[in-house]
Structure 1
């Protein structure tokens, strides 16, 4: 399988005009601090469009003079806005409205609007990330990246982690203090009757919050009766196999694709068929030529591992075929919350008029791996079967964690955390791209999937050895895998998958230096 050359399209022009904040301002609310007041004035203008994407904010000194408040107060408000993803900026480039404005769900639940928040400390140390435009012309980043000091010897000697660890949520960003308080509060609220209840489909309040979240963030119209709380996406895939498949059925998976798909579905059928993807993802035309297909597994938002986003035309083609052929479609929506250069497409499930899509997602990917809470939105006809399968397998999750997560979603803590993490991961994405620009020198840089998620795919130029690149990643402590490891029968072009979400920038800089030394034809000193 030969993938086309793929490059990133930068967001709107990097030319930024300073926004006027001489508009009328509302007086502070009762009990509202000056910092909160400044923050609210700017945030409301961003959400109403008065401050458009890319608009440069006045300097902290200038705004402090205009609004007659202390400069330190403005600086604190600017830090909060950057931490929550509304603005971005680096030393020397000022502060400007971020390229990706938080979507409908992620605009809700701000401090002071609904009382005490479970996630109130989510605006902490890691919140100064910049959402940088990306230019893939060799050696020309769209603007300087916020690098700190060079890696220390201790950082350079940091032991390598398994490749998948670099493609995970960074648990260090999570507001664990607030979460711990939420767990304690949930435990205090539990009644003996609640402890005795059997909720195989999941805690009702959590299912309601998940349905609300998916409606706002992913465009999925559903209710709590369609939501099943799981331990993660793999749990959902296993249930799909258990409930829907017989030994004679065919399951189509993307090739290259999710490496765990085959072992998950194989216990239920021997007919697991890898289907080579094309430039738009899952190849529906090829699928139509196969008989006996009962289920297909796709990653339409950010194809694993290439990062391709399935266009709407292909999504409609897939849904049309599924409805005609009676095929169930499993939508693996593993990292859709993290888009860096534009709003994501609505979920495949949002277009599912025939109710053939099972939408699977996971809070393990957005919060921290050890949480072990995911979800599926299932067709109404399948909801009783999924609940019964959960009951029989005894896989119901901890009630206390489910109650705490429901509160975290309701009070805006989840939205704040995702906004903050989105900015941090964007900065690390930029650092990974900068490392690759350093590696290729004057040559063209070809990547895919860099617009979203936790990883990107670097299509290697002629003369590069994937094994050496993987070894450089190991030395730097960055997860790097040969794309061939994700393939079953397809033969992808030479490339490597680079995970960056849980990797600090020092290690990514180290990777750039190691790769630059491997550049074919580079003179050795």
Structure 2
């Protein structure tokens, strides 16, 4: 295959209907897997959407959506006049690992007895619903208490004596079945119920992994800027933190020399916390390659992947983890409400068994009633209906903030990271003083979080993390007008992002 010429992609078969629900998903998988398996190489030119539409019998508009998604994820690059080319660089060791048919994920050596009757917000944040612009907080008004209570009541009415006193340590089987089904259908992860562990949330899962993997003096690679609460978890485990900078493609391991002694890397690839960057396909594969070569682990924190406003939620890093190096952590605390305290963890089998043994030792703290109620909620149409409703409402709130700022303070800021999640980044101009702006905002009822609080070694320009999800539409409008008025007030110049987050 010669570089720069149209490839034989038009000969690629579409996956069978059973492997993907829609033609759009099948076309996406056909091109993505061809890249990951080395059939298409970096700089190879793809056929046009018109040619592929004729070959596969798919509407051209559908293929345009597929190509846009592949570009968003970093697999291809589209340029007017020169077509679409493969941009992802696939490490040789990854290609060797995926040569032939990718084996299914093996089951951990744990009990799989079926039972009968088959993240982030702090206590302070939970009291701040409706306060602009608190970040990373779900809107509890979007889930009807009566609907949630009805599922809890039905689940408890059918509970058996066995479930009341002897639920498996891994979590209620019925909930693990629903989580595994959700991950297969919506996150692209090939898993079964026996692979899932139920936790109190993402940070709880990360703490379990840290206790099993790390010993004093071990190195952990974390994102910079990143999520300080998780960084503290690793530090309390005795680890030495290595701060990898974030650029437009995500985490950059090449900026950190001497990574051979690093035991663990923690990443937020779908919507980097806090910058909102999507980790490119090349960086994802480089990260997997690094973990394989150095016998290291990767923790994937998938904290808000349900809420992507430009396309379907992006596939998880775990979905291409042919080398079994990724520990996947997710939570319902942002998908539903923050005080639910229910999450899940998916680890490669050897590590799964270590985590489960520790879980047995420290004791469980996830109540069976909440687990059975959530399983009933997920089994019904209510769960996906809620996600659709929440996604639409959060997008509306985001648009209100963006449109209002654009109307009332044009040219006074720059926005990034707005394509997904509960927050966006507002970059200040050189004329504005960040500290004075935050102080003035507090006086009019706005809580602004400076990006510098998430920085450690990286130097960034002054910026604010604006959360919008936990507001009403009226609050979002009013708060954005207040912020626009503050942005319009000229301020003296100030230094950039602090070198130490404190």
TM-score (norm 1): 0.67
Structure 2 residue runs of 5 or longer lacking an equivalent are 1-21, 25-63, 67-126, 492-502
Does residue 446 of the first structure (1) align with residue 424 of the second (2)? no
Kept in 1, the 8 Å contact 2:412–2:488? The answer is no
For residues 471-490 of structure 1, the aligned pairs below 5 Å read 471=439, 473-475=441-443, 477-490=445-458
Kept in 1, the 8 Å contact 2:132–2:468? The answer is no
For residues 280-319 of structure 1, the aligned pairs below 5 Å read 280-287=249-256, 289-319=258-288
The verdict on how the C-alpha distance between 1:402 and 1:476 changes in structure 2, with shifts beyond 3 A counting, is: farther
For residues 54-93 of structure 1, the aligned pairs below 5 Å read none
Kept in 2, the 8 Å contact 1:229–1:375? The answer is yes
Kept in 2, the 8 Å contact 1:160–1:474? The answer is no
Kept in 2, the 8 Å contact 1:166–1:499? The answer is yes
Comparing 164-173 with 368-377, which one deviates more in the overlay?
A: 164-173
| Cα RMSD after superposing both structures | 2.7
**Which among 151, 169, 178 is matched to residue 147 of structure 2?**
178
Kept in 2, the 8 Å contact 1:349–1:357? The answer is yes
**Separation (CA, whole Å) in 1 of partners of 2:132 and 2:250:** 23
Does residue 331 of the first structure (1) align with residue 300 of the second (2)? yes
Does residue 228 of the first structure (1) align with residue 188 of the second (2)? no
Paired positions, count: 373
Secondary structure (helix, strand or coil) at the match of 2:345 reads strand
**Separation (CA, whole Å) in 2 of partners of 1:100 and 1:425:** 22
Kept in 2, the 8 Å contact 1:297–1:331? The answer is yes
Does residue 263 of the first structure (1) align with residue 232 of the second (2)? yes
Question: Which residue does the alignment assign to 1:493?
Answer: 461
**Which among 360, 382, 399 is matched to residue 430 of structure 1?**
399
C-alpha displacement of 1:436: 2.5
Question: Which residue does the alignment assign to 2:434?
Answer: 466
C-alpha displacement of 1:164: 8.0
**Separation (CA, whole Å) in 1 of partners of 2:195 and 2:424:** 33
Deviations 1:106-146 (A, max 9, x none): xxxxxxxxxxxxxxxxxxxxxxxxxxxxxxxxxxxxxxxxx
Question: Which residue does the alignment assign to 2:183?
Answer: 214
Question: Which residue does the alignment assign to 1:407?
Answer: 376
C-alpha displacement of 1:223: 1.3
Deviations 1:365-403 (A, max 9, x none): 100011100011111222221212112122331101101
**Separation (CA, whole Å) in 1 of partners of 2:455 and 2:446:** 21
The verdict on how the C-alpha distance between 1:386 and 1:521 changes in structure 2, with shifts beyond 3 A counting, is: closer
**Separation (CA, whole Å) in 2 of partners of 1:272 and 1:161:** 35
C-alpha displacement of 1:465: 2.0
**Separation (CA, whole Å) in 2 of partners of 1:195 and 1:210:** 21
Question: Which residue does the alignment assign to 1:199?
Answer: 168
Deviations 1:395-418 (A, max 9, x none): 331101101111111112110000
The verdict on how the C-alpha distance between 1:293 and 1:204 changes in structure 2, with shifts beyond 3 A counting, is: same
Which structure exhibits the higher relative contact order, with contacts defined as CA atoms closer than 8 Å and separated by 6 or more residues? 1
C-alpha displacement of 1:200: 1.6
**Separation (CA, whole Å) in 2 of partners of 1:164 and 1:394:** 37
Does residue 508 of the first structure (1) align with residue 472 of the second (2)? no
Kept in 2, the 8 Å contact 1:166–1:503? The answer is no
Structure 1 segments of 4+ aligned residues over 6 angstroms from their partners: 158-164
For residues 265-280 of structure 1, the aligned pairs below 5 Å read 265-280=234-249
**Separation (CA, whole Å) in 2 of partners of 1:479 and 1:207:** 38
Does residue 244 of the first structure (1) align with residue 182 of the second (2)? no
The verdict on how the C-alpha distance between 1:292 and 1:513 changes in structure 2, with shifts beyond 3 A counting, is: same
C-alpha displacement of 1:427: 0.3
Secondary structure (helix, strand or coil) at the match of 1:300 reads coil
Deviations 1:44-80 (A, max 9, x none): xxx899xxxxxxxxxxxxxxxxxxxxxxxxxxxxxxx
**Separation (CA, whole Å) in 1 of partners of 2:439 and 2:353:** 48
Structure 1 residue runs of 5 or longer lacking an equivalent are 1-46, 50-98, 102-157
For residues 160-171 of structure 1, the aligned pairs below 5 Å read 165-171=134-140
**Separation (CA, whole Å) in 2 of partners of 1:176 and 1:48:** 37
C-alpha displacement of 1:271: 0.7
Kept in 2, the 8 Å contact 1:256–1:492? The answer is no
The verdict on how the C-alpha distance between 1:401 and 1:100 changes in structure 2, with shifts beyond 3 A counting, is: farther
**Separation (CA, whole Å) in 1 of partners of 2:134 and 2:212:** 31
Kept in 1, the 8 Å contact 2:412–2:428? The answer is no
**Separation (CA, whole Å) in 2 of partners of 1:161 and 1:474:** 14
Secondary structure (helix, strand or coil) at the match of 1:294 reads strand
Does residue 356 of the first structure (1) align with residue 325 of the second (2)? yes
**Separation (CA, whole Å) in 2 of partners of 1:432 and 1:294:** 41
C-alpha displacement of 1:241: 0.7
**Separation (CA, whole Å) in 2 of partners of 1:463 and 1:438:** 19
**Separation (CA, whole Å) in 2 of partners of 1:368 and 1:459:** 29
**Separation (CA, whole Å) in 2 of partners of 1:343 and 1:287:** 33
Kept in 1, the 8 Å contact 2:156–2:373? The answer is no
Deviations 1:154-201 (A, max 9, x none): xxxx98867785431111110220211221222221222222214221
